Chains A and B, each alone.
Chain A
Amino acid sequence: MKKILSLVLALALLMSCLCLSAASAEQGESVVVGIAGDPGNIGPFQGMSAGRIGILFTTYEFLVTKDGDSYPGVLMKELTQVDDLTYDVELYDYIVDQAGNPLTASDIKFCYETAQSIGNLPKLSSIESIEVLSDYVCRFHFKELAAGDLYSLLMECPIVTQAAYEASPDQMAVDPVTTSPYRVTGYQTGSKIVMEYTGAYWQTDESLVRTTSKHNVNSITFSIIPDSVQLTNALKTKEIDISAAIDAAYIKDFMDVEGYNVTRFPDNLTKYLIFNNNVFPDQRVRQGIAYGIDADDINLFAFDGLAMNAKTIGNSKYPDYVAAWNDEPYYEYDADAAKALFAEAGFTGGTYRLMYSVTDVNTSIATTIQADLMDFGINIELVPYDSALFNTYKYADDSGEWNLMLDEGGSSSLLSNVWKLTMDRNDQTHGKTIGYVSDDTLQSLLEAAMTENTPENMDAFHQYLKEQCYEYGLVAPVSNLAHTTVVKSAVTCFRGQVLPGACEY
């Protein structure tokens, strides 16, 4: 009896060991990515959100993707220019989606037109029409194209086959059928999205598999953890393997710590200060305030010294950034210069409202600005709003809600598009920039930089803006990608989001 019992126990021990080893092998084949935003509906034509950005390139494929400064085709085999506003897009003729439907030019037309009609991707309004020329060639007619717009538009709309989209009972809200190498196999709304490698990716030529379509891991779980402290804790306890959403304040917890790696790279966002021109019409006062703010302080208090001081409204990540700006002076802290400018302008200080979208980082920046400007008799009243309210006041007519605005901006293509976000008066209902500036020179220089994106035009705008100081670049945050040793080498997309399929394990 004892022998039998011992045998059973030994077998049980052996089985449990086998199970454990099997579990570890499986662990090596899967990765858990922590994201802070909830993507909600993961259908192809929904509006962009922080959560959606995190999963977009793993879930869907686009005509092109961005790799460094180039835009290699993913579904697109070739792009031919017909005239200034017309382009022919040729697709690979062997693309199939996860349900086996072939992808043709009519699917491209369907996707872009459906997205346009739903109206959640506003950039697509620049497309006049799409014409199907043959099974695998379609012609894009654009209404207008500024520099960088073409590829940005080809990368804006996720592509699916019409057959799969129409077969979906909920417009692919939870179970999209795409051409990506990963298929969504589980979606617990607000909690996690599980994707599995299909094992049969349509692009068999390895040299043509782009970074966003690589499939180096079999199973990907996106774990949605909105609280930044909890996201950090989840990485500490290794419940997640990698995250690009760790707050700058906590990233030091993983730097030089055994079992973790931190990869740092320039974020495409830049923090800047916008002056309300109705309140600060005097250029000398704006310049004085810029001299009175110490960007080093901001970098230290808000980013633990891990960000870069800005040299314009934008950072060096963009291909049209002019490297020479790095060596130029850009309102480095100078109390004497600030005082001199204030005295010259007859400015004696006062109380001003600094509006910002409330986050930990923005609060740190705003309080630093408040402390810096106090030395000059400028009393800053902090006005933090949630993002929806912040955006409402940002784009509204001047109601006295803000005098200074702490904002951030980035672009998926060019630096000139970052400038356009706040300084193109044609985009605003009130016909002025976000800071209520109506300056013909500024507008013409911006349009020149956008239509002819040459270093000369970029520099001309930059120098004029720096001189006028309608807006003042503060810091360019650095994205911090923290991961456990499960991930040997981390890869991100141009928006700084993890591409788990492209990472090395």
Chain B
Amino acid sequence: MIRYIGKRLLWMIPVMLGIAILIFSIMYICPGDPAQSMLGPSATAVELAAKREELGLNDPYIVRLGRYLYQTFIRFDLGVSYKYGTSVFEGLMERMRYTLVIALLCMALQVFVGTPLGIAAATHHNGVADRICMLLALVGVSIPAFWLALMLVLIFAVNLNWLPTSGVDNGLLSFIMPCIANSFAGIASQARHTRSSMLEVIRSDYIVTAKAKGLSPRTVLLRHALPNALIPIITIIGNGMGMMLGGTVIIENVFAIPGVGRYMTDAISSRDYPVVMGGVLVLGLIFSLIMLLVDIVYAFVDPRIKAQYEGRRKKKKAPAAAAAGKEAQHG
């Protein structure tokens, strides 16, 4: 298992390299002048040219790419923001806490609301509960997050005055609407996938056997059906975390939350290349780690997958042990 994790971690190096080259190339192709954004409309052509030279923007693609890769992967330096003049890494870390809080709370909502909804729908297949759950799920996947966010603000902040409209000054209260808006689609998706996964498992022979043995429906559901339905659900949760991180870009802008998403959208508008590239790279790294974590969780949830990892090791060990045995016999 440790070998597998190590191997996966090593595989992340080319993945990160690929992300870095891709985002660098996109930003290179993307029209727009960071020097103009930095100096404003009163800057003359000469001043702009000097700024571009200072930023190294006049160098050819391959030189700039090489410099960027060296700086990022050899010196582990994400550079300095053109707009803010501060370290990109520090800027990201400072803002990451808000983004992670939102993403984790959204994940929690997705798991703890979406999964029970899906289970309820599956266990009451074609019943009223199923129809209601699936209607909610359909509504959930159809509503855009930003629209829902503004509607929530109008109802709960402007009209009822229960929650703050924006910002992060009110502790957990500040995160209620952003998290609901950001996770609504995730909850719906989770419910739909849990339902279909559960339906497949519920119809299996071993569930019929468990019921025939006289186990209570609750025990059958929680001890026999759910663990076997978890694999696809865990995959959805892993992907969902990536979607939540991406979704915060919109939600942070609507709710004025100073997270990584807002940092990056501001940076895109002002062509602050180091921030955009650094942000994408860090989010890519987090997502890769989450996917690794998902794969590890698979092994703990499903003994068959764990056995596969261990099986490979045993298979490799077996010929070595046989050879050692033969040597001993000859000796």
A residues with a Cβ closer than 8 A to B are 38, 40-41, 43, 46-49, 119-120, 122-123, 125, 170-171, 173, 188-192, 223-227, 229-230, 233-234, 236-237, 239, 386-389, 391-393, 395, 409, 421, 427-429
Contact = CB atoms under 8 A, between A and B. Distances in A.
Given A123-B42, A223-B167, A421-B41, A391 B86 contact: no
Nearest to A236: B158
A49 B83 contact: yes
A173 B153 contact: no
Given A119-B51, A387-B37, A392-B31, A190 B95 contact: yes
B47 A119 contact: yes
B216 interface: no
A276 to B, nearest CB: 18
Contact of B39 (A41, A120, A188, A233): A120
B91 interface: yes
Contacts of A170: 86
Contact of B36 (A188, A190, A237, A392): A392
A399 to B, nearest CB: 10
Interface string B101-120: 00000000000000000000
B38 A225 contact: no
Contacts of B40: 47-49, 122
B93 to A, nearest CB: 11
Contact of A227 (B34, B84, B256): B256
A190 B85 contact: no
Interface stretch (B185-193, B266-274, B313-321): B266-274
B288 to A, nearest CB: 26
A429 B42 CA distance: 14
A230 B263 CA distance: 18
B271 A237 contact: no
B228 interface: no
A229 B44 CA distance: 35
A354 B166 CA distance: 35
Contact of A189 (B85, B91, B268): B91
Contacts of B68: none
Nearest to A428: B45
A388 B36 contact: yes
A395 B37 CA distance: 12
Contact of B50 (A40, A119, A233): A119
A40 B270 CA distance: 12
B279 to A, nearest CB: 13
27 contacts: A40-B81, A46-B85, A49-B40, A119-B39, A119-B47, A119-B50, A119-B54, A120-B38, A122-B40, A122-B44, A190-B259, A190-B262, A191-B168, A191-B256, A192-B167, A224-B258, A226-B262, A233-B165, A236-B165, A237-B157, A239-B165, A239-B167, A388-B270, A389-B32, A421-B41, A427-B44, A429-B49
Contacts of B255: 230
Given A233-B157, A389-B31, 17 more contacts: A38-B266, A40-B81, A119-B39, A120-B39, A122-B42, A125-B44, A170-B86, A173-B85, A189-B91, A191-B168, A191-B257, A227-B166, A233-B154, A233-B158, A233-B165, A237-B164, A386-B268
A169 to B, nearest CB: 12
Given A49-B83, A170-B86, A387-B269, A122 B47 contact: yes
Contacts of A188: 168, 258
Interface residues of B, number: 54
Contacts of A428: 45
B208 to A, nearest CB: 54
B42 to A, nearest CB: 6
Nearest to A221: B169
B33 interface: yes
Contacts of A38: 258, 262, 266
Given A239-B164, A388-B36, A429-B45, A171 B85 contact: yes
A239 B33 CA distance: 37
Nearest to A238: B161
B73 to A, nearest CB: 26
A190 B258 contact: yes
A238 to B, nearest CB: 9
Nearest to B87: A170
Contacts of A229: 150
B43 interface: yes
Contacts of A233: 153-154, 157-158, 165-166
B47 A224 contact: no
B239 interface: no
B254 interface: yes
Contacts of A236: 158, 165
Interface string B75-89: 000000101111000
A313 to B, nearest CB: 14
Contact of A225 (B31, B39, B167, B259): B167
A223 B170 CA distance: 13
B253 interface: yes
A233 B95 CA distance: 24
Contacts of A226: 253, 256, 262, 266
A225 B256 contact: yes
A237 B85 contact: no
Contacts of B169: 191-192
B94 interface: yes
A191 B85 contact: no
Contacts of B86: 40-41, 170, 173
B41 A391 contact: yes
A388 B45 contact: no
A392 B43 CA distance: 13
B269 A388 contact: yes
Nearest to A152: B42
B95 A189 contact: yes
